[in-house]
């Protein structure tokens, strides 16, 4: 005991005289730092410094926007449409109303305005946990997130114009068109849905191939070929691998609001807390602006696009939700509906599972390299354009025709930023950091995420207070269903197959063979070991859906009908990730944006006089095929 104490004293004293002592004055942290070889120490210092400057910048941007928006609040008492949330769905709807109709409308957004620095793709993960993130976390999980502090996984969601699309990894995937046809109960054909996607790709989003790739990227494609997968996915959902297509322009993040010109119709930094009803008709909303309650009325409709966690929260606060929850808080019942149930998410695992002895992957030092900054700002190229994920693949763990897993290949891992930030945003606990992740600090790490495309486990979201500032309880019940655990285990075995291919061996890849803390009782890579591993290192790919599911009025989970109208209530629509009744086969941003276009088409376009008589045109296959062709339809 005394020996230990004096040792720590010695190190402490040494630290105080060292020029780095000001990084952190908590003894335990200094001790931890001191265990690192000095190169990591210097890297940690440089990256920390960069991050502190970035954090300072986010504070300045946030508060100057907040002050601005409080001085220049200008709104009317009534509009045709009110849109709650300027995220993926809300922005698309607003853009469409602004450009295609003469309706009056207003968008209310709880977050602030973005700025061009935030569009640097590599900074995306560093906005997690910032003022621009709702900073949600799950309830402690029974079968999952065991390696996280308090067994709680983080679930970031954008609180900013652009919503989660301002924080996301920008991967563009259409998914399986048949699923969308089923959601609408065959109301639309496959052709119609495909046309919506084409319009989205040509007119709203901007897509390009990833602008930077590490050596890992080609190696994975070669490995896929070796294993018999074809490595050039087309647009349609299929088994195979490909380089990622991303929502970027010249290597910079592209969020839909930028193109839209609806910025004069938007109030930022306002928290919508309730919908107002006249009997069963939604007539307006109330919101908090600098702590004061304000009201706005809607003549034609209220559109909730606040995302899969906040939309159910607003509905429940307004009296639409499960009766027993509303009773608990004495909220007068407007309509008993399963709001907040049926929560699903793309669950995954596998951070830092692939290692290298030489650099093939991005390191955080790349972020602070001035040459890379130059390349980014002047050429739109280089590592700073990277969202982390370079390749995606769809594969079947059972060798069937329908894929059940998506692979996302990241040339980085938790160790890549030397413990400065990602460790916190993933909420990894100290034991796991010290005994597993930090062992990758003197290696180079990569991550292949095996994402469950259609998880069987379902969770829920519900309010825990009538105070709109209190976040809802999020209980995703990750891995409650044993089939999900088994699928992730098969995914990990597939990753092992990939790592053992000639192509991956050639670039020096091997499996991280450190035993995961908490799983010491099992043989490495045995089924029981892998079960333990996935229950500990459970991750989300940030795709919560289903909390206000679309469905037939008679179906158990339905909250909205197939025209997005909340069941049994007039003038109220939900259009965002909450309405997706099942997970799309792939990253979901495109699906959410496509749904917003369908909503606009059926509920607004058809009921309004179109401003111009120019037919609806766009260039076909501009991105995927250079032989562009103009397609028009009415
Ligand atoms: C970290 C991360 C990475 C992702 N990566 C990808 C990817 O690579 N590819 C992909 O396809 N998808 C990805 N996604 C998913 C995709 O971005 C989201 O599913 C999509 O943006 C959801 O759109 P939405 O309209 O439902 O909600 P959001 O875009 O989240 O928008 C909701 C908006 O409503 C606002 N709001 C909420 N409550 C209130 C209130 N009470 N009052 C006023 N405003 C409110 C929010 O601030 C927000 O701006 C990712 C998501 C995250 C979080
Ligand atoms: C899948 O199964 C078929 C026939 O059963 C076999 O020829 C093929 O090699 C298998 N593919 C993989 C990737 O295992
Ligand atoms: C797409 O989904 C449909 C309906 O679930 C299914 O029949 C089909 O096989 C899927 N397509 C692929 C390529 O898996
Ligand atoms: C918008 O269209 C409506 C008809 O749908 C018309 O009555 C109204 O005058 C138009 N307003 C403007 C500003 O053009």
Model confidence pLDDT, tens digit, residues 61-74: 998 888 887 766 78
Q: What is the pLDDT of residue 609?
A: 52
109 lines ligand 1 (CB under 6 A): yes
26 lines ligand 2 (CB under 6 A): no
In the three-class reduction of DSSP (H, G, I as helix; E, B as strand; rest coil), residue 545 is classed as strand
Q: What is the pLDDT of residue 98?
A: 92
Q: What is the pLDDT of residue 261?
A: 64
What's the CA angle centered on 405, arms 402 and 409, to 5 degrees? 130
pTM given for the model: 0.89
Q: What is the pLDDT of residue 256?
A: 65
Span from the CA of 165 to the centroid of ligand 1 (angstroms) = 6
Instruction: Look at 262 and 619; give whichever has higher pLDDT.
Output: 262
Number of Cβ within 10 Å of residue 331's Cβ equals 18
Span from the CA of 608 to the centroid of ligand 4 (angstroms) = 9
Q: Which residues pair with 274 in a beta bridge?
A: 286
**Would the pLDDT of 25 be above 50?**
no
Buried b (16+ CB within 10 A) or exposed e, 500-529: ebebbeebebebbeebbbbbeebeeeeeeb
Q: What is the mean pLDDT of residues 306-332?
A: 98
Q: What is the pLDDT of residue 260?
A: 63
328 lines ligand 3 (CB under 6 A): no
Span from the CA of 399 to the centroid of ligand 2 (angstroms) = 6
User: pLDDT grade, residue 620 (50/70/90)?
Assistant: very low
| Position in ligand 2 atom list of the atom nearest CA 395 | 13
Q: What is the pLDDT of residue 582?
A: 97
The least confident of 42-56, 290-304, 533-547, 583-597 is: 42-56
Q: What is the pLDDT of residue 369?
A: 84
**Would the pLDDT of 46 be above 60?**
yes
Q: What is the pLDDT of residue 32?
A: 52
In the three-class reduction of DSSP (H, G, I as helix; E, B as strand; rest coil), residue 490 is classed as helix
Nearest protein CA to atom 9 of ligand 2, as residue = 228
Instruction: Look at 53 and 73; give whichever has higher pLDDT.
Output: 53
Name the average pLDDT for the chain: 88
Q: What is the pLDDT of residue 166?
A: 94
Span from the CA of 592 to the centroid of ligand 1 (angstroms) = 9
Q: What is the mean pLDDT of residues 26-36?
A: 49
Q: Which ligand is nearest to the CA of 426?
A: 1
User: pLDDT grade, residue 387 (50/70/90)?
Assistant: confident
**Would the pLDDT of 26 be above 70?**
no
609 lines ligand 4 (CB under 6 A): yes
334 lines ligand 1 (CB under 6 A): no
Q: Which ligand is nearest to the CA of 494?
A: 2
Q: What is the pLDDT of residues 86-100, one digit of tens each?
A: 999 999 999 999 989
CB distance 166 to 253 below 8 Å: yes
158 lines ligand 1 (CB under 6 A): yes
CB distance 237 to 585 below 8 Å: yes
Q: Which ligand is nearest to the CA of 493?
A: 2
Span from the CA of 511 to the centroid of ligand 2 (angstroms) = 24
**219, two tokens:** 């190696």
**Would the pLDDT of 21 be above 70?**
no
Q: What is the pLDDT of residue 554?
A: 86
- Show contacts of 41-44: CB within 8 Å, 24+ apart: 43/363, 43/364, 43/365, 43/418, 44/418, 44/419, 44/420
Burial of 602 (0-12, 13-18, 19+ CB in 10 A): middle
Q: What is the pLDDT of residues 266-283, one digit of tens each?
A: 999 999 999 999 999 999
Q: What is the pLDDT of residue 179?
A: 96
127 alpha-carbon distance from chain centroid? 12
Instruction: Look at 609 and 42; give whichever has higher pLDDT.
Output: 42
**Would the pLDDT of 207 be above 90?**
yes
- Phi, psi (5° rounding) for residue 631? -120, 135
What is the β-pairing status of strands 292-304 and 78-84? parallel
| Position in ligand 2 atom list of the atom nearest CA 227 | 13
Span from the CA of 484 to the centroid of ligand 3 (angstroms) = 19
Instruction: Look at 547 and 376; give whichever has higher pLDDT.
Output: 547
548 lines ligand 1 (CB under 6 A): no
228 lines ligand 2 (CB under 6 A): yes
In the three-class reduction of DSSP (H, G, I as helix; E, B as strand; rest coil), residue 289 is classed as strand
| Position in ligand 1 atom list of the atom nearest CA 387 | 8
370 lines ligand 2 (CB under 6 A): no
Q: What is the pLDDT of residues 212-236, one digit of tens each?
A: 988 999 999 999 999 999 877 877 7
In the three-class reduction of DSSP (H, G, I as helix; E, B as strand; rest coil), residue 156 is classed as coil
Q: How many helices (H) and strands (E) does the chain have?
A: 19, 27
Q: Which ligand is nearest to the CA of 611?
A: 4
Q: What is the mean pLDDT of residues 429-446?
A: 92
546 lines ligand 1 (CB under 6 A): no
Q: What is the pLDDT of residues 482-537, one digit of tens each?
A: 999 999 999 999 999 999 999 999 999 999 999 999 999 999 999 999 999 999 99
Percent of all residues in the chain with a pLDDT value above 70, rounded to a whole number:
88
**104, two tokens:** 């009056």
Span from the CA of 20 to the centroid of ligand 1 (angstroms) = 39
**Would the pLDDT of 36 be above 60?**
no
184 lines ligand 3 (CB under 6 A): no
């Amino acid at each position: 005991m005394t020996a230990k104490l004096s040792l720590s004293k010695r190190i402490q004293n040494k630290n105080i005289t060292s020029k780095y002592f000001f990084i952190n004055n908590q003894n335990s942290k200094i001790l931890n730092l001191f265990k690192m070889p000095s190169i990591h120490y210097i890297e940690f210092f440089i990256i920390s410094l960069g991050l502190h400057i970035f954090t300072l910048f986010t504070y300045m941007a946030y508060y100057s926007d907040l002050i601005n928006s409080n001085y220049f609040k200008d709104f009317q008492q009534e509009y045709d449409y009110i849109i709650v949330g300027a995220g993926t769905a809300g922005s698309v709807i607003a853009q469409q109303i602004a450009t295609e109709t003469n309706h009056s409308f207003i968008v209310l957004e709880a977050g602030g305005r973005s700025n061009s620095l935030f569009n640097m793709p590599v900074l995306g993960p560093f906005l997690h946990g910032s003022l621009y993130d709702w900073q949600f976390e799950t309830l402690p999980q029974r079968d999952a997130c065991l390696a996280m502090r308090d067994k709680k996984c983080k679930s970031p969601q954008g609180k900013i114009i652009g919503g989660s699309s301002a924080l996301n990894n920008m991967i563009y995937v259409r998914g399986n068109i048949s699923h969308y046809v089923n959601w609408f109960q065959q109301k639309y054909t496959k052709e119609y849905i495909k046309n919506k996607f084409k319009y989205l790709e040509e007119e709203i989003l901007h897509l390009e191939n990833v602008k930077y790739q590490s050596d890992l990227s080609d190696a994975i494609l070669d490995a896929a070929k070796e294993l018999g997968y074809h490595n050039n996915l087309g647009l349609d959902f299929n088994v195979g691998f490909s380089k990622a297509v991303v929502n970027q322009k010249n290597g910079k993040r592209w969020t839909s609001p930028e193109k839209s010109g609806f910025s004069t119709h938007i109030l930022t930094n306002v928290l919508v807390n309730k919908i107002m009803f006249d009997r069963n008709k939604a007539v307006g909303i109330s919101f908090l602006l600098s702590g004061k309650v304000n009201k706005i009325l809607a003549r034609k409709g209220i559109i909730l696009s606040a995302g899969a966690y906040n939309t159910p929260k607003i509905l429940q606060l307004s009296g639409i939700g499960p009766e027993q929850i509303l009773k608990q808080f004495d909220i007068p019942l407007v309509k008993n509906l399963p709001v907040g149930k049926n929560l699903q998410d793309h669950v995954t695992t596998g951070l830092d599972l692939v290692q290298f002895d030489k650099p093939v992957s991005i390191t955080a030092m790349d972020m602070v390299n001035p040459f890379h900054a130059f390349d980014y700002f002047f050429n739109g190229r280089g590592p700073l354009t990277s969202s982390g994920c370079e390749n995606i693949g769809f594969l079947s763990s059972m060798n069937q025709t329908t894929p059940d897993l998506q692979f996302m290949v990241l040339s980085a891992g938790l160790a890549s930023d030397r413990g400065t930030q990602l460790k916190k945003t993933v909420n990894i606990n100290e034991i796991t950091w010290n005994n597993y992740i930090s062992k990758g600090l003197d290696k180079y790490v990569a991550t292949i995420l095996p994402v469950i495309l259609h998880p069987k486990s379902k969770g829920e979201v519900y309010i825990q207070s009538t105070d709109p500032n209190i976040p809802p309880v999020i209980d995703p019940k990750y891995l409650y269903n044993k089939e999900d655990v088994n699928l992730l285990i098969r995914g990990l075995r597939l990753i092992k197959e990939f790592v053992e291919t000639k192509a991956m061996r050639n670039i020096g890849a091997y499996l991280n063979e450190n035993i995961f803390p908490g799983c010491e009782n099992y043989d490495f890579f045995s089924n029981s070991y892998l079960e333990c591993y996935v229950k500990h290192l459970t991750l989300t790919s940030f795709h919560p859906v289903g909390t206000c599911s679309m469905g037939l009025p008679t179906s158990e989970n339905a909250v909205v009908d197939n025209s997005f109208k909340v069941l049994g209530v007039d003038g109220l629509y939900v259009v965002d990730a909450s309405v997706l009744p099942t997970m799309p086969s792939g990253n979901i941003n495109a699906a959410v944006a496509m749904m917003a276009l369908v909503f606009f088409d059926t509920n607004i376009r058809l009921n309004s006089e179109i401003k111009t008589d120019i037919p609806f045109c766009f260039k076909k296959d501009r991105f995927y095929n250079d032989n562009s062709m103009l397609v028009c339809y009415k």
